[in-house]
Amino acid sequence: MIYEYELNLLSPAIVTRKVGRLGYKSYDDLIPGSVVRGGLLTALYERGYIDLKDLEEEVDNPSLSISSAYFSGDLEEPMLFSNLCIAHAFSRVSKHSIGDYGQPIVSILSGYEKKAISDISRYVEELEKGFSKLGMELSAKKKQTIFNPLEFKRCTGAIAVKIGDVWFRRNSAHEVSVNIGLHRGRRSVESEMFFYYEAISRDQSFRGFIVDSKGILDNVKEIRVGIGRGVSRGFGRATLKLRRISVEDLIKRLNLDNLDLDEGANMFFVCFTPYASFDPEGLLRGRILRDTLTLPTDWMKMHKEFNAEARLKLIGSVGGYGRYGGYSLKTGYPKMVLRTLVSGSVIIYKVDHLDGDIHSIAELFASMLVLGVNELAAYGLSHLLPMSTDYISGPLSLEEVIK
């Protein structure tokens, strides 16, 4: 069963991204899938939806695939991949705001998705040159500096909301919490017990996807959860609402219902969550992506039967790199640090083989988003968004807004 979930913060949430010189830094506009998973499983156990045996089974053999939850912005009715999404690596955000709308986001990719790619670096260079040329022409014609390509910067992974035909950047609100530790005997401040937390402010909502292959969530529509640090001190209190969606609805949202792919065509995938792999060969060679991706993967087959197959040859990737690690409370040891492609990075494949009807192939690609590609999807990694066309508008879309 596929769910779109909404996480509403009832209190500030300390979702630690890193520890800096001042203290704990929270994620900017997302809550990682691993954090949502931990809070959800704890709530399900405490409220009797699952027993200890079910909990241990889910920890050892995950059946839930949970994506990160992304900030919903100020939309009245946000819907992922309809009017809410993340900016891909070919997106650029303006340094200028348009009225009350905010900073517009445009794509340098629009219209180039089906162009043959032999060298990824040269391909990106051509896109940059085309964007610069168009921007200079529009800037001279309209006498508006907002079109100047020098007024745009990269925004890979930024939250984008759609107003009309244009996408605009949105940022979640943060606040600072300072705590001290008291000595129980002296009733005075304990030495070196000063804590600085950067928290995600309350009354904000975040959205993501969950796939439940065992029916754990069948009787759950809404549940109170605790996420991040300091739950016992009132931080991270939230409600998680679940709404079932069909594969057909997902295919329609992703514009895969009229997918027209031939062998040899380019296929673009956006990393909806950071992409990583436990592939032994890749870990030894320091590579994240293998040269060939065969679909469905073993992880996908564990959750669903498919009537289509695909073999994709890697062309390259565009975006940034990050690291995923942490500390395991279960084992008491640090987790293995994985090198990742950051959210919003784009992986480009060439279609080497396709087998199945149009609907089955569309279902296969749509499942890469909600199920994920490998076992790390259970912890909020390796969910890929297939791009049938570029969902971010090009620079020409700004003309109507400026008028």
Nearest to 11 by CA among 321, 237, 299, 265: 237
Low-confidence ranges of the chain (pLDDT < 70): 17-27, 110-116, 183, 190-194, 279-286, 326-334, 395-403
Q: Which residues does 266 contact at the CB level (< 8 Å), separation at least 6?
A: 113, 114, 115, 116, 117, 315, 348, 349, 350, 351
Read off the pLDDT of residues 58-110 as tens digits, 9 standing for 90 and up.
888 888 999 999 998 878 888 888 889 999 999 999 888 888 888 889 888 86
Give residue 349's pLDDT: 92
| Topology (CATH) of 256-387 | Immunoglobulin-like (2.60.40)
Give residue 143's pLDDT: 75
Q: Which residues does 204 contact at the CB level (< 8 Å), separation at least 6?
A: 8, 9, 71, 72, 172, 173
Give residue 327's pLDDT: 63
Report the mean per-residue pLDDT for the chain: 84
Read off the pLDDT of residues 365-387 as tens digits, 9 standing for 90 and up.
999 999 999 999 998 899 999 98
**pTM of the predicted protein model:** 0.88
| Topology (CATH) of 2-75+172-248 | Alpha-Beta Plaits (3.30.70)
Read off the pLDDT of residues 169-199 as tens digits, 9 standing for 90 and up.
998 888 887 777 776 777 777 666 667 778 8
Q: Which segments of the chain belong to CATH 2.60.40?
A: 256-387
Give residue 174's pLDDT: 84
Q: Which segments of the chain belong to CATH 3.30.70?
A: 2-75+172-248
Give residue 100's pLDDT: 81
